[in-house]
Structure 1
């Protein structure tokens, strides 16, 4: 089982913990992959450590990512700048895999139609019982879309290996008008919205259609040949 997260000592530690838990790995798993002691993985996660380049390369490989991603070098760069990979192909995802990739929380985008045209908004989301939940401000465009059909999209892009996936949900979004129910949903959320805690208007998307696609690169780590 993955080790329970502890307060990380710096940005590097937080990124390592987040990626390790995303992969479902324990510190022992990462240590074995990276050829390091579990205690050192714990130290790097929880202290403001400055490991050498050699260890970072092994750690990035163990976590199926890049040193640039772990150190935050790509945070402000546009996604998908890498060139197309050799032998890449597009694969359709079934509904079960779409839900697996969405996980139980993350950041995605909602697309809705307004009076002056379509708009796409980033949102923090939660997944519960086959529905996607957002919190927004009462006067936001998303709040005004109550009882209308919207699209929700989430994705992941791996620039290092020119691969990634995207999941699209389409359905009607509803405002949670019962304050007690809304409170329970807010309290069950992984975290408050990145844009600010004042976004307490809870919206629920019940999708009628779920589709997904993945770019498969046989030569990339984690892919079959």
Structure 2
């Protein structure tokens, strides 16, 4: 292993604020369940360097970035935001890949952390699919929106679909979960008061979202890309949150 890279003696930039790079490193590290100490050991850097990288403005060299990206099982462009305007799934398919159907318990476990999903329905002007931030409460998919939006129209539809997925370009693997059910408006003040503290701040797209909706699942199905032995490629697949999601509406 190369000698650990120490804490930089001269900060790059003013060192007064966290950067997008630092946020992406933090999100990816936490998605893998790694501490800063463990990331430092894997990448051959000092723990204080990881502290600095995640919390302060910095400009690490390409050699350091390659080692950190490798330790985080991702790529430098993903960490630096170079892929933010590109669709996911650009990696090459692996030779021994296949699909495995997920059981309902597995699907619910993947849904449970909340994050970004997609509401699909037949709206007045035809089929629509819209990303929203969601949470799970009492086994229902819950999100909030404005009254004049496509997601709000879900309450008038006889049936809606809700999809969540994760794609890992580094390993050409991923999973998806599809929920089909009926949506309803949440009007009980006590229920809304319980949901409000769970909301993750303002909607990414801005604006007020006073209308709460819940989707009661009738059917939950899912699939995961696996290898020939039926196990996730590259080890246990892990879920990334809204940092890698679409800028939908926030609960």
Give the whole-Å Cα distance in 1 for the aligned partners of 2:137 and 2:110: 14
Indicate whether 1:221 and 2:234 are aligned. Answer: yes
Contact 1:135/1:193, CA 8 A, preserved across alignment: no
Matches within 5 A, 1:69-84: 69-84=78-93
Contact 1:82-1:160 at 8 Å conserved across structures:
yes
Q: Does 1:28 align with 2:41?
A: no
TM-score normalized by the length of structure 1? 0.87
Q: Structure 1 CA distance, aligned partners of 2:46 and 2:137?
A: 37
CA distance in 1, matches of 2:227, 2:72: 17
Structure 1 residue matching 2:49: 3-state secondary structure: helix
Q: Residue 186 of structure 1 contacts residue 200 of structure 1 at CA under 8 Å; is this kept in 2?
A: no
Could you say which structure has the higher strand fraction? 1
Moved more, 184-193 or 197-206: 184-193
Where does 1:27-176 land on structure 2 (aligned, <5 Å)?
A: 27-146=36-155, 148-176=158-186
What residue ranges of structure 1 are gaps of 5+ in the alignment? 1-6
Partner-residue secondary structure (3-state), 2:85: coil
- How far residue 104 of structure 1 moved from its aligned partner, in angstroms, is 1.8
User: 1:103: Cα distance to partner?
Assistant: 4.2
- 1:217–1:223: 8 Å Cα contact kept in structure 2? no
User: Please, what is the CA RMSD of the aligned residues?
Assistant: 2.3
Match in the other structure for 1:4? none
- Distance across 2 between alignment mates of 1:216 and 1:78: 21
What TM-score comes out, normalization by structure 2 length?
Answer: 0.78
Instruction: Mark the structure with the bigger radius of gyration.
Output: 2
How far apart are 1:217 and its partner, in Å? 4.6
Q: How many residues align?
A: 218
Pick closer, same or farther for the CA change 1:191–1:65 going to 2, 3 Å: farther
For residues 146-203 of structure 1, what are the alpha-carbon distances to aligned partners after superposition, in whole Å with 9 as ceiling and x for unaligned? 1632111011112233221111111111111123422431331123221224112111
Secondary structure of the residue aligned to 1:142 is: helix
Greater mean deviation of Cα atoms: 164-173 or 111-120:
111-120
